[in-house]
Amino acid sequence: MNKEKKNFYITTPIYYVNDIPHIGHAYTTIICDTIARHNKWLGKNVNFLTGTDEHGQKVEKSAINSGLDPQSFTNKLSKSFIELSQKLKIINNDFIRTTEPRHKEAVKNIWNKLEEKGDIYLDKYAGWYSVRDEAFYSEDEISENNNGEKIGPSGSILEWVEEPSYFFKLSAWQNKLLEFYKNNPDFVSPKTRYNEVLSFVSKGLEDLSVSRTTFNWGIEVPNNDQHIIYVWLDALTNYISGVDYPNIKSNKWNNFWPADIHVVGKDILRFHAIYWPAFLMAANLKLPKKIYAHGWWTVNGEKMSKSLGNVVDPFKIISSYGLDQVKYFLLREVRFGQDGDYSEEALIKRANSDLANDYGNLAQRVLSFIYKNCDKKIPVANKLINQDIKLIENMDKSKDNIIKFMENYEITNALEELWKVIREANSYIDSEAPWSLKNTDIDRMNTVLNTLCVVIKKISLIALNFTPDGANKILDQLSISKKNRSYSNFDDTLENATIEKPEGVFPRLEKK
Ligand code: ME8
């Protein structure tokens, strides 16, 4: 490996295999894929990890309900998450399953470390548990629903649990955590989530139950097979078992830990921003650089649920509307970090206005004009005048802004910036009107067309990370070779290349 290359490690949450994937899972994966692609494009050595969370009571219950043993059940469901990764064409380096031996070994190692250091003790747990969230809640977080059932902060129904349990001395880490947050104000993003974490920890932390004894599906506590390790201690460890921990001599471990970013939904912030750093501190391991908690998607204003029958199937909508279209909608419609509402109408509207009308049309207008009028060759520019120079300069400035935005994970701002140039390029075509120069000023027409091709190429090199299928097709049509599509090729000059027959890349969508 090139020693100069900067390493970058990004993770998705590992998804529960209690049910098939939906649009919410696809969303987090798409976000991570976009960030991973961007960093790879910049020339970094990227490790992108995703996977499935296969143990615990929730998965065991689903397996029992489906009539399968847990291992066969998780094999089947995990496959559907792998298929989703393929459908989304993500560039992950690895897919980790918590039922794999490499992962179990890491979890046992962490357990032993925490125990050796005196951070784990045996006692009894008596309290409320949510199987849906796989979370313990304290009395002050509990309320009642209309049926008089106890519910947790997420609305999930709680059950009373009373059993022997090992505890992790979370309370002992409270001050260290607070100090860490204070010294690392960017550890949790967005800021509102950081404040939430700070206020939760400031109120005081109770020790955390880290083993269960009333079911079997999980990793056994070393030296006490009556206990199963709490599924969150098991699951969080994937972020290090996925980079070869406990083999701390491995290149992967040394290159990639600590992770640059764990992207999660806001529902699982507590586990990532409080428990995970505490476990890592206790195990004397470095902490990830950032936890980014994104918002929550509803569907036509309602929470997605099987009983409402409104669960959005990512496979179906990608087949109906296209991968780039779905990705672009999810990335652009909602500011990264905020909640959003999914509807097919909104997806179609967004894809038609930004992809078909703005970006697709820009490429199609220019390339088909060249194909018909310039002997299928990108014309050579003559003397550039102010408006040509300004368009290219603005493109270059936007590229720098986009890189800054992406460094701060401001995905929506990055896309807005890119579309600013796309719209500017469309206005430039209208004002320079190359078709009207055909019979009057061929030199000027050639300059305008060349300027447009330069800008379309630059736009597409950036769009590669957001809408890779379409952007690659446009670069194919411009005869830019596959190996010349990274950041380092951004300022390459266009050759007098013969273009391919242009075809519309982003068709107008209609409701299916
Ligand atoms: O929590 N909107 O797994 P999970 C946005 N196994 N994102 C959504 C979403 C929605 N409506 N629904 C799901 C778990 N997500 C644990 C994680 S990690 C060590 C263990 C996304 O299958 C979002 O990223 O319930 C959320 O955090 C994740 O799926 C939860 O997936």
Average pLDDT score over residue span 125-134: 94
Give per-residue pLDDT as tens, 288-325: 999 999 999 999 888 888 778 899 999 999 999 999 99
Query: How buried is residue 485: exposed, middle or buried, by Cβ count under 10 Å (0-12/13-18/19+)?
Result: buried
Q: Which atom of ligand 1 is nearest to the CA of 13?
A: 18
Answer for the pair 149, 156: CB distance below 8 angstroms, yes or no: no
| Atom 10 of ligand 1, nearest CA residue | 24
Q: What separation in angstroms does the CA of 215 have from each of 64, 212, 368? A: 12, 7, 65
Residue whose CA lies nearest to ligand 1 atom number 18: 13
Report whether pLDDT(2) > 50.
no
What per-residue confidence (pLDDT) applies to 1? 44
b/e per residue 211-233 (b: at least 16 CB within 10 A): bbbeeebbbbbeeeeebbbbbbb
Mean pLDDT of 165-180: 98
Query: Whole-number mean pLDDT of the chain?
Result: 96
* 496 pLDDT more than 90: no
Q: Quote the pLDDT of residue 43.
A: 96
Is the beta carbon of 379 within 6 A of some atom in ligand 1?
Answer: no
The mean pLDDT value for 126-147 works out to 93
Tell me the mean pLDDT in the region 452-470.
Answer: 98
Sequence-ordered alpha helix ranges (H) in 361-385 = 361-373
Residue 43 backbone phi and psi in degrees, to 5: 105, 10
Phi/psi class of residue 309: alpha, beta or left (left: φ > 0; alpha: ψ in -120 to 50)?
left
Sheet harboring 45-53: ordered strands across?
A: 94-97, 45-53, 7-16, 261-265, 291-294, 188-189
Give Cα 359 distance to the centre of its chain: 24
Does the Cβ of 104 fall within 6 Å of ligand 1? no
Question: Exposed, middle or buried: residue 462 (CB in 10 Å: 0-12, 13-18, 19+)?
Answer: buried
Q: Over range 146-159, report the average pLDDT.
A: 93
Whether residue 3 has pLDDT greater than 60? no
Q: Are 350 and 419 in contact (CB under 8 A)?
A: no
- Taking each helix axis as running N to C, give the angle between helix 386-407 and helix 442-463, from 0 to 180 degrees, rounded to the nearest 10: 0
What is the C-alpha to C-alpha distance for residues 192 and 194, in angstroms, rounded to an integer?
5
Q: Which ligand 1 atom lies nearest to the CA of residue 297?
A: 2
Contact 261, 188 (CB under 8 A): no
Statement: residue 439 has pLDDT above 80: yes
pLDDT (0 to 100) of residue 511 = 86
Q: Which of 134, 264, 303 is the pocket-test mutation for ligand 1 (most atoms within 8 Å of CB)?
A: 264
For 176-197, the pLDDT digits (tens) are 999 999 999 999 999 999 999 9
